């Protein structure tokens, strides 16, 4: 089933201890789309300015990504982010951010997309997430991300969004902030009580936790030495998860566990290069080989 994603599409500049990349393609919906399009066709809904470079559009179009929901707004400029990672690579420091077109009205949903059966609402204002969700005919799978800004300042709206989704994928700091629970197993349960049927908490290099009504399960990160640029790891994880679930057509506990493997592998690839350099030509064969390696590694019986 086709998978719809909406979120940011941007032009990034990033520096890490391994180097720097300037004016490269980025944004939550972009990283998600590259990962998810390995599994199912992806419908990308977002808005850029008239400065959005043609080569970036071509990079997206070269994958299994439908761009009829990509609005190029005349007179506007594309979202830009400049980030920096220190030695620990754990969290980006935002050096500069220009919201540009993201501060204007949201993207319009192409009418043909209303039948999308799965949707990922990447991090944006919770009200915009809910508005987009409301334009769909009733997806089987609706998953959202969020961030500290909305947890702190738009809590009521975020809670309404959480009541409307099937699942949520967020990081450890966000889960703790949302629930005021230090223990992440408690945090996962607390979020489950807010509405979603499943909660995935991302812990960076330490892997992820999954909480459902059946309890909590943990998964380690893929052990990797070669972290060149962590940007997009979380959105690639979500892309692997949603892509796999959409292809499977179900989201029971075993499917969710397997989806987390694909999310983990998607994240492990994207961090091996700056921006999308490692994943833009990545093949499904490479993914499947690493999935097999990781799945074998997980076994301990």
Q: Which residues bind its own copies (CB under 8 A)?
A: 87-89, 182-186, 189, 203, 205-207, 209, 215-225, 227, 257-258, 260-261, 295, 297-301
Smallest distance from the beta carbon of 292 to its own copies, in angstroms?
A: 9
Smallest distance from the beta carbon of 262 to its own copies, in angstroms?
A: 10
Q: How far apart are CA 165 and CA 195, in angstroms?
A: 7
Smallest distance from the beta carbon of 267 to its own copies, in angstroms?
A: 13
Which residue number, 75 or 87, has a Cβ lying nearer to its own copies?
87
Which residue number, 127 or 177, has a Cβ lying nearer to its own copies?
177
Q: What are phi and psi of 171, to 5 degrees?
A: -95, 170
Q: How far apart are CA 25 and CA 99, in angstroms?
A: 15
Q: How far apart are CA 190 and CA 91, in angstroms?
A: 25
Which residue number, 36 or 209, has a Cβ lying nearer to its own copies?
209
* Tally of helices (H runs) and strands (E runs) in the chain: 10, 14
Closest CA to 171 of 191, 153, 157: 191
Which residue number, 105 or 182, has a Cβ lying nearer to its own copies?
182
Which residue number, 71 or 186, has a Cβ lying nearer to its own copies?
186
The Cβ-side half-sphere exposure at 2, using a 13 Å CA radius, reads 17
Smallest distance from the beta carbon of 184 to its own copies, in angstroms?
A: 8
Kind and range of the H or E run holding 269: helix 253-270
Residues 230 and 245 sit within 8 Å (Cβ to Cβ) = no
Structure tokens at 228: 């060149």
Smallest distance from the beta carbon of 143 to its own copies, in angstroms?
A: 19
Residues 101 and 47 sit within 8 Å (Cβ to Cβ) = yes
Smallest distance from the beta carbon of 244 to its own copies, in angstroms?
A: 11
Q: How far apart are CA 192 and CA 199, in angstroms?
A: 7
Residues 251 and 11 sit within 8 Å (Cβ to Cβ) = no
Q: How far apart are CA 95 and CA 139, in angstroms?
A: 37
Closest CA to 34 of 20, 21, 24: 24
Smallest distance from the beta carbon of 49 to its own copies, in angstroms?
A: 37
Which residue number, 150 or 222, has a Cβ lying nearer to its own copies?
222
Q: How far apart are CA 112 and CA 288, in angstroms?
A: 32
Which residue number, 138 or 215, has a Cβ lying nearer to its own copies?
215
Which residue number, 18 or 153, has a Cβ lying nearer to its own copies?
18
Smallest distance from the beta carbon of 27 to its own copies, in angstroms?
A: 27
């Amino acid at each position: 089933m086709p998978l719809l994603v909406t979120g940011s599409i941007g032009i990034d500049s990033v520096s890490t201890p391994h180097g720097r990349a300037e004016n490269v393609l980025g944004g939550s919906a972009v990283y998600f789309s590259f990962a998810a399009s390995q599994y199912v066709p992806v419908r990308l809904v977002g808005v850029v300015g008239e400065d959005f470079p043609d080569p970036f559009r071509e990079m997206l179009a070269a994958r299994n990504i439908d761009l009829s929901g990509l609005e190029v707004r005349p007179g506007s400029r594309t979202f830009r982010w400049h980030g920096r990672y220190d030695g620990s690579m754990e969290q980006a420091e935002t050096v500069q951010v220009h919201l540009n077109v993201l501060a204007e009205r949201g993207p319009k949903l192409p009418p043909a997309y209303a039948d999308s059966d799965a949707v990922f609402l990447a991090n944006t204002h919770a009200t915009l997430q809910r508005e987009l969700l409301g334009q769909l005919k009733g997806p089987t799978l609706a998953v959202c991300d969020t961030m500290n800004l909305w947890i702190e300042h738009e809590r009521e709206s975020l809670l309404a969004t959480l009541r409307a989704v099937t699942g949520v994928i967020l990081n450890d700091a966000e889960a703790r902030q949302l629930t005021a629970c230090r223990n992440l197993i408690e945090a996962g349960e607390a979020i489950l009580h807010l509405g979603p049927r499943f909660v995935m908490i991302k812990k960076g290099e330490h892997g992820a936790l999954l909480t459902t009504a059946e309890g909590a399960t943990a998964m380690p990160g893929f052990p990797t030495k070669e972290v060149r640029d962590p940007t997009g790891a979380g959105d690639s994880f979500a892309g692997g998860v949603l892509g796999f679930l959409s292809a499977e057509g179900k989201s029971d506990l075993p499917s969710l566990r397997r989806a987390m493997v694909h999310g983990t592998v998607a994240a492990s690839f994207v961090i091996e290069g700056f921006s999308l350099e490692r994943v833009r030509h990545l093949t499904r064969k490479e993914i499947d080989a690493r999935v097999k390696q990781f799945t074998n590694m997980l076994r301990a019986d």
